[in-house]
Amino acid sequence: MINWGIIGCGNVTEVKSGPAFSKVGGSRLAAVMRRNAELAEDYAARHKVPKVYTDASELIKDPEINAVYVATPPGNHAEYAIMSIKAGKPVYIEKPMARNYGECLSIIEASEKHRVPVFVAYYRRTLPGFLLVRDLIAKGAIGKVRHVLIRCFKSPSQEELTGKLPWRVMPEISGGGHFFDLASHQLDYLDFLLGPVVKVKSVVINQAGLYRAEDFVSVSFLFPDNIACTGIWCFNASPQSNSDVIEITGESGRIRFSTFSFEPVVMENNEGRKEFVNERPEHVQFYLIEQIVRELSGGSKAVSTGTTAARTNRVMDEVVAEYYRTFA
C-alpha cells in the first residue's frame, strides 16, 4: 500500500489531485500538512484523512508515510522534495517542478544519489484528449508536423487590479509570472509530443505594470525534425480577448485543441472536419497518480519524471533570462 502524505493542502488538492490518492488501487491519502492548523484540520475532516501536521518535516518523518506529494507554491518545492528524498520517500511534485532549472537539478542530484524516484504533476501526458492528439499525429492523420501555434490570452484578476498580488506573479515564490504557471503545462506536453526544445528566441516584457513579473511573452521554439513553434502569452488582455488554443499544422491537415478548458479536439484534413470529445476526468491527476502508484508498486514506469519536467524549467528559464537580468 502506498500511504501518501500531502505537504500543502491548498486549492489544487481539493479536486484535481487530493481525492485521487485514495481512489487509485493500492493507494491512500494518510496525512496532510498545512502551516495553518485550522485549515489543515478542516481539509482532513472533509476528505477523511486520518493524520494532520503543521510541520512538513514531521509528516516526512512519519514511518507510515512512504510517499510524499509536495503541493506548496514552487518556492518550497526543492526544499521539501530533497527532504523527502533524503528520508528515502518517493516524491510527487506540483508543477512547475521548481522556481528554476538549477533547483530542478538539485532535486535530480538528490534523487540519483539516494536512488529515490521523483515525479512531477504534468498530468496532460496521461489525459485521454491529449493522448488522442498524440495518436492522431503518430498515425499520420495530418502528415508531418510543420508548425505549432500556442495562443494563451488572459485578463488580469481582480486581485492584480487592486494590488493584492497572488503568489503566482511573485517571481521569488513562483519563478516568474503566469507564464511559469500556465505555459509550463503547454511546454511539457509539447516535449512529450515532439521531443525536447532545440532552440528558443523570445520577447518578454511587462506591459500593464501591475506587478514586476512578465505579463507578455512571445517565443519562437524549434523542436526536433525542424518543427517550428510560435507561442504568445498575454496576461493583460481584455476579457473579450481571452483565449486558450494550441493548433498543430501538418503537411496535410491541422489539429486544434485547448489546454485548460477541455474544448473538443478538432481535426481538419483531406477527409474533412472531425470533432472528438476531450474528456475531463473528475480528478484530472488521477491517471498520472495511477501510473505513479503502479511504478512504486513494481509495475511500469510513469511518464512524468523529474528528468522530463526539468526540461520545461530549462526552457522557461531560457525564455525569460534576458528580462530578469534587468532586475539583477
Together in a domain, 38 and 26: yes
Together in a domain, 196 and 257: yes
The per-type count for the chain, helices as H runs and strands as E runs, is 13, 14
pTM score: 0.96
Together in a domain, 296 and 275: no
Contact 181, 122 (CB under 8 A): no
Count structural domains, the chain. 2
What residues does 305 pair with on adjacent strands? 119
Together in a domain, 190 and 117: no
What residues does 68 pair with on adjacent strands? 5, 91
Contact 94, 168 (CB under 8 A): no
Together in a domain, 73 and 134: no
Asked if the structure places residue 324 within a domain, the reply is: no
Asked if the structure places residue 320 within a domain, the reply is: no
Asked if the structure places residue 317 within a domain, the reply is: no
> In angstroms, what CA-CA distances link 315 with 25, 108, 190, 306, 321?
35, 17, 12, 14, 10
Q: What whole-number distance in Å separates Cα of residue 93 and Cα of residue 107? A: 11
Report the pLDDT value the prediction gives residue 326, as an integer from 0 to 100: 85
Together in a domain, 14 and 117: yes
What CATH number is attached to the domain comprising 217?
A: 3.30.360.10
Alpha-helical segments (H) within 115-179: 128-138, 158-161, 171-174, 178
Together in a domain, 256 and 145: yes
Q: Which domain holds residue 46?
A: 2-122+284-303
Which residues of the chain have a pLDDT value below 70?
328
Asked if the structure places residue 315 within a domain, the reply is: no
Report the pLDDT value the prediction gives residue 30, as an integer from 0 to 100: 98
Give me the helix-helix angle, 77-86 and 101-114, nearest 10°: 10
Asked if the structure places residue 207 within a domain, the reply is: yes
Asked if the structure places residue 116 within a domain, the reply is: yes
Report the pLDDT value the prediction gives residue 317, as an integer from 0 to 100: 98
What CATH number is attached to the domain comprising 11?
A: 3.40.50.720
Report the pLDDT value the prediction gives residue 79, as an integer from 0 to 100: 98
Together in a domain, 288 and 276: no
Together in a domain, 140 and 262: yes
Residue 134 CB neighbours (<10 A): 14
Q: What whole-number distance in Å separates Cα of residue 221 and Cα of residue 211? A: 26
Query: 104: Cβ–Cβ under 8 A, 6 or more apart, which residues?
Result: 78, 97, 98, 306, 309, 310, 313, 314
Together in a domain, 142 and 247: yes
Backbone angles phi and psi of 270, in degrees to 5: -60, -20
Asked if the structure places residue 246 within a domain, the reply is: yes
Report the pLDDT value the prediction gives residue 211, as an integer from 0 to 100: 97
Which of 221-255 are b and which e, b meaning 16 or more Cβ less than 10 Å from the residue's Cβ?
bebeeebebebbbbbbbeeeeeebbbebbbeebbb
Together in a domain, 95 and 182: no
Asked if the structure places residue 56 within a domain, the reply is: yes
Report the pLDDT value the prediction gives residue 46, as an integer from 0 to 100: 97
Together in a domain, 161 and 70: no
Report the pLDDT value the prediction gives residue 156, as an integer from 0 to 100: 97
